[in-house]
Amino acid sequence: MLKAKLHLSQKAQGILSSFHSSTNDDLTNPEKRCYKELTSSILVSAHVHLRKLAACTQDNMSKKNICKRFRRHLTKADFGEKIA
């Protein structure tokens, strides 16, 4: 996959940023970061598998640790209610 395909365009990033700022007032900072990374990774990769989403993040962490972080937030009881 080309490196250019792994990034969202500036216009898409602006739209996504305004969407995030309007939807996640109840989230903690780690939850906000996870939510932002999940949504942008889904848009970039067009997949919903955590390993593929972890590959699209810009972190210096390993894919395994990123997947653990995503799972930790996604399994919280109230996380789905907060982002809905």
Q: What are phi and psi of 49, to 5 degrees?
A: -80, 135
The verdict on residue 35 lying in a domain is yes
The verdict on residue 72 lying in a domain is yes
Number of structural domains the chain divides into: 1
Question: What pLDDT is attached to residue 75?
Answer: 93
The verdict on residue 55 lying in a domain is yes
The verdict on residue 9 lying in a domain is no
Domain containing 67 equals 27-84
The verdict on residue 21 lying in a domain is no
2 pLDDT more than 60: no
The verdict on residue 11 lying in a domain is no
Burial code of 42-66, b = ≥16 C-beta within 10 A, e = fewer?
eebbeeeebeebbbbbeeeeeeeeb
Q: Does the reported pTM lie above 0.85?
A: no
Distance, in Å, from the CA atom of 61 to the CA atom of 31, rounded to the nearest integer, reads: 17
Q: What are phi and psi of 82, to 5 degrees?
A: -70, -35
Distance, in Å, from the CA atom of 6 to the CA atom of 41, rounded to the nearest integer, reads: 9
The predicted-structure confidence for 22-60, as pLDDT tens digits, reads as follows 776 788 889 888 888 888 888 888 888 999 999 888 888
